[in-house]
Structure 1
Amino acid sequence: MTGKGSDPVLSTGLASVLPVNPKPWWKTPHLLTLNGYIACLVLFSSTVGYDISLMNGLQSLDQWQLFMHRPTGAWLGFINALQSLGSMLFQPVGAWSANRLGRKRTVLIGYIWLALGVGLQVGAPNANMFVASRMFVGIAGAWFQAAVILVTEIAYPSHRSLVTAIYMCQYYVGSLLSAWVAFGTRNLASDWAWRIPSLMQIALPLVALPGTLLIPESPRWLTRQKRVKEARDILVRFHAGGDEGSELVAFEMDEITQSIMLEQSANAESRWVDCVKTPGNRYRLFLSVSLGFFAQWNGGGVVSYYLTMILDTIGITSVTEQTLINGFLQLWNLIMSVVGACLVDRAGRRALFLASTIIMLISYIMITALSGSFNTTGTAAVGTAVIPFLFIYYAGYDIAFTPLILAYPAEIWTFSLRAKGVAISQMANYGALLFNQFINPIAFEAISWKYYFVFLVVLLVVLVTVYYYYPETHGYSLEEMAVIFDGELARVTDAVSVNMERREKRVGVEHAEKV
């Protein structure tokens, strides 16, 4: 936390009201408590990472293969895709719940779906029941999406960018846990070799449960429900440490109320059609959909889901070598995504997206060239040289697309459409993911390394799109963000400044009267 006006990544208005605090946030009780609750919420992104890694792990277990009658081809692809399909189909329902029932309550409802899915999966008496359980786990993910919205709307202003960017980094915490649990149970002689990893899907959400129960509802949602006093009390407690006269709280409440009033005066409701009614919302829609597709259609789907096939094409066929490379790659992903999250405000969103795409493009060119050379010459050293470029590729992906895939849509949409905007981005993401799960293995088996040329073209499209159309958003509060998309008419800072000046004059008059 910084002194007044000294934070280089915040707007002048917001930075001017931040309280001076010589202590770091972890030594400030109210910020430590708030960030502890937020730390629990960010664990929800680990459920997706756990599930994808789980399915990769289960396919290597003979016990699971025997139970499932050794699924192959389209049937195996369908089993893998059911989680993504369930989440994609129920994103609109999750968005409705986040607006109607509240962000916190929506997250808690997700536990019911997850418990049903995990219960069915662990206790599955046959393969069909296991397949059905995949859909329930996916539905839970749609409701858990409200967690990132709650994090965005309740975080301390100067922490918001970092904690929302950290959210998706926990994806790799889930994938790491799943991989090691499956590794630890691989030698069990019974079905518990795969039932235990299935049961552990609920482990991280259970760790997150205490914080989820204790964290308050979004002050912005409460304000929209005309529960202004509750909203203010939350900000006083968690942003000002109980200081009722906090300038920061006054500024935030003025911004929130002014922004909601502007939405209401413009007849902005929480309807899907509103996502395309204005030029600003159409711009937001384009960014959300394109980001969802770009996050999957940049070649990462081939690397993440079919790493074994890739390694086979370059001559690395040992199970031990393949599993070690995969394990280290997941750890590398976690480290680089956290690095990217820490750079979100320092470098800016736009700079990270551009750097990410350029790194992926260059490394993909090298992967394509080396794979083609190995296919022609069969030289082992050439095939092995692909491995470091796989790590470089993921370093590029992780510094932007992992931390910003949810953080960027969550911050660019106005309050009334934020839940729908995040849902739209995720539906695009899962739609592209389903394409990857079904089409990539077919194409890769048909033309092998030549399939990389498709993603070279896609990466060029991503680079051009980001360069010309992705705006920089760092330094803006959630309410100030509207100026980028809706123009000066959406600015609430001026009205807030007037309110602040009136408040200061009133306090001065009251003080003079007492004297």
Structure 2
Amino acid sequence: MGLENTLKSVGPELAAALPQGDGAWFKNSHLRTLNYYIFSMIILASANGYDGSLMNGLQALPQWQSFMNHPSGSWLGFINAAQSLGAMCSLPVIAWSANKFGRKRTLLVGYFWLCLGTGLQVGARNTTMFVIGRLSVGGVTSFFAMPAALLITETSYPTHRGIATSLYNTGWYIGSAIAAWATFASRNYTDGQASWAWRIPSVLQFLIPLCALPGVLMAPESPRWLTAVGRTDEARAILTKYHAGGDANSRLVTFEMAEISNAIEAERLNETSTSWLDLIRTKGNRHRLLISVTIGIYSQWNGVGIVSYYLAPTLAAVGIKSVTQQTLISGFIQIWNLIFAVSAAFTVDRLGRRPLFLISCIGMLTCYIIISGLSGSFDKTGVASIGIAVVPFFFLYFGFYDIAFTPLLYGYTCEIWPYELRARGIASMTFSTQTALFFNIFVNPIALDAIGWKYYLVYVGILIIVTVTVYFFYPETNGHSLEEMVRVFDGNDIAPFQSKSGLVEDEKPGEVLLVENA
């Protein structure tokens, strides 16, 4: 990474402490190992993505429709939303566990829910058993998502953090792509094998998290959590091993340990970690909470719920009713999503968070206006070419969604909160996401049945509100380490950690001197 990009990524103080001349990260064994562990946690997001795309594909399969007695309206909405309900119920426990027992131990609990939920869905003998399985999958979503995002944020190499955390949620599309193509491949099972058309895609939900398990088991615990519970020697050892390649005298490790220790001390001295009420106690935290809640809601209330969970009926509404065509389009959309989301994640440090948000919002709004117009025209005329024209705009819409609301949902939320409140902040974002998702999924089929394409106009209005909110309330966070984020949000509400960190700024801009604490 060049000097200019490094400064954009972490700012001048931390940049000055980074080792020089080590070359690309893949030439260093300690960074290769660390990034393997991080990649293992990134692809855990596939479990959530698999579920979303799986339900989309299953709705296109007559075999699943027959087994579930052709659900529609509110009942179909509840089946799809059951996963979100399960996720919401477990969130307060996860935030407490992540702070009490550590990020890694909490994450591993997700594998229990994965086995339970997958087993119930695959072995379902009736609709009730299938729905209970989906409730259990909600535990997977929460126990994987929040601890994994925390671990990635708090263990990544400084210049990799922004990209690595943004990449986390792109794993959603690894799972969704596999689910979409699995249902496409199994769509023609008939007669005695008919139920395997949906049971095979259900069992594959376990595949990617199983592949990730070795990396997850070997990954280190968060140095920030270890420091917060008084295990500073272990925290230093982890940073020395994975950030400095074993160099015990590393300038970078000295900088990071001073920064982490004194930031946590400053937070505690300012009483920022006593309860959930601290999320609203200061102006800076209220600003953070506003972002966390709105980004969760807006990630679902921007029209993505219709195309993500109800693509089959949406395509049928514009004349595309073939099971093969529906599952094929679903498969290609997931690949498209993965490409755009990953590409955007690699640009977060270069372009910045705020430009990506604004481009995303304006692009989605434009696409939804066009989709609404084309859908309305097809409804009145029935001309097939107009209905087909909707499909490329679905792809364009997803492309704009993916450049911000996929990578930055966790990436942005993780970095804006101080350590003591980070787990609760992410829990707040996840709760608002799952609440919006539950409402959205439950209401969408009812609204689509009632007013058809006119329902798209509701999201046109919401996207206008989303764009205005982002413009006025989402600041740029590029160029700051996690501990330096207080400069963006808190101002003078929290004493700057630099005053106690043992880091003294030199007179020359962009340089620091490391001195020992007295």
Fold conserved between structures, TM > 0.5: yes
Instruction: Determine if contact 1:4/1:20 at 8 Å carries over to the other structure.
Output: no
C-alpha distance in structure 2 between counterparts of 1:372 and 1:48, whole Å: 32
Instruction: Determine if contact 2:255/2:503 at 8 Å carries over to the other structure.
Output: no
Instruction: Determine if contact 2:60/2:327 at 8 Å carries over to the other structure.
Output: no
Q: CA deviation at 1:448?
A: 1.7
Match of 1:294 among 276, 289, 298: 298
Matched, 1:235 2:239: yes
Q: Which runs of 5+ in 1 are unaligned?
A: 508-515
Matched, 1:267 2:286: no
C-alpha distance in structure 2 between counterparts of 1:284 and 1:504, whole Å: 31
Change (3 A) 1:4 1:253: farther
The aligned residue for residue 197 of structure 1 is 201
Q: CA deviation at 1:256?
A: 0.3
Secondary structure of 1:19 counterpart: coil
Q: CA deviation at 1:270?
A: 5.0
Match of 2:408 among 393, 404, 409: 404
Instruction: Determine if contact 1:2/1:18 at 8 Å carries over to the other structure.
Output: no
TM-score by length of 1: 0.94
- Residue by residue, what CA displacement relative to the aligned partner does 1:449-479 show, whole Å, maximum 9, x if unpaired? 2222211111111111111110100111000
RMSD: 2.1
- Residue by residue, what CA displacement relative to the aligned partner does 1:346-403 show, whole Å, maximum 9, x if unpaired? 1111110001001111111111222223333333333332222222111111000010
2:167 partner amino acid:
I
Which range moves more in the overlay, 322-331 or 12-21?
Answer: 322-331
The aligned residue for residue 18 of structure 1 is 18
C-alpha distance in structure 2 between counterparts of 1:202 and 1:320, whole Å: 25
Change (3 A) 1:324 1:62: closer
- Residue by residue, what CA displacement relative to the aligned partner does 1:45-74 show, whole Å, maximum 9, x if unpaired? 111111122222233334434433443332
Q: CA deviation at 1:160?
A: 0.3
The aligned residue for residue 426 of structure 1 is 430
C-alpha distance in structure 2 between counterparts of 1:4 and 1:352, whole Å: 19
The aligned residue for residue 127 of structure 1 is 127
Change (3 A) 1:46 1:490: farther
Change (3 A) 1:395 1:198: same
Matched, 1:46 2:46: yes
Matched, 1:186 2:187: yes
Change (3 A) 1:5 1:13: farther
C-alpha distance in structure 1 between counterparts of 2:197 and 2:247, whole Å: 54
Instruction: Determine if contact 1:2/1:21 at 8 Å carries over to the other structure.
Output: no
Structure 1 segments of 4+ aligned residues over 4 angstroms from their partners: 1-6, 499-507
The aligned residue for residue 491 of structure 1 is 496
Match of 2:368 among 364, 369, 381: 364
C-alpha distance in structure 2 between counterparts of 1:177 and 1:5, whole Å: 34
1:23 partner amino acid:
G
1:185-334 counterparts in 2 under 5 A? 185-188=186-189, 189-190=192-193, 191-269=195-273, 271-334=275-338
Q: Give the % identical residues.
A: 52
The aligned residue for residue 116 of structure 1 is 116
- Residue by residue, what CA displacement relative to the aligned partner does 1:412-432 show, whole Å, maximum 9, x if unpaired? 111111111111111111111
C-alpha distance in structure 1 between counterparts of 2:77 and 2:185, whole Å: 25
Change (3 A) 1:243 1:395: same
Secondary structure of 1:420 counterpart: helix
C-alpha distance in structure 2 between counterparts of 1:134 and 1:316, whole Å: 28
The aligned residue for residue 509 of structure 2 is none
Change (3 A) 1:321 1:116: closer
Q: Which has the higher contact order (CA 8 A, sep 6+)?
A: 2
Q: CA deviation at 1:221?
A: 0.1
The aligned residue for residue 161 of structure 1 is 162
Change (3 A) 1:450 1:492: same
2:25 partner amino acid:
W
The aligned residue for residue 147 of structure 1 is 148
Secondary structure of 1:267 counterpart: coil
The aligned residue for residue 8 of structure 2 is 8
Q: CA deviation at 1:2?
A: 4.8
Change (3 A) 1:65 1:16: same
The aligned residue for residue 171 of structure 1 is 172
2:90 partner amino acid:
F
- Number of residue pairs aligned between Structure 1 and Structure 2: 507
Q: Which runs of 5+ in 2 are unaligned?
A: 507-511
Instruction: Determine if contact 2:184/2:327 at 8 Å carries over to the other structure.
Output: no
1:428-443 counterparts in 2 under 5 A? 428-443=432-447
C-alpha distance in structure 2 between counterparts of 1:198 and 1:325, whole Å: 20
Change (3 A) 1:256 1:209: same
Matched, 1:341 2:345: yes
Q: CA deviation at 1:503?
A: 8.0
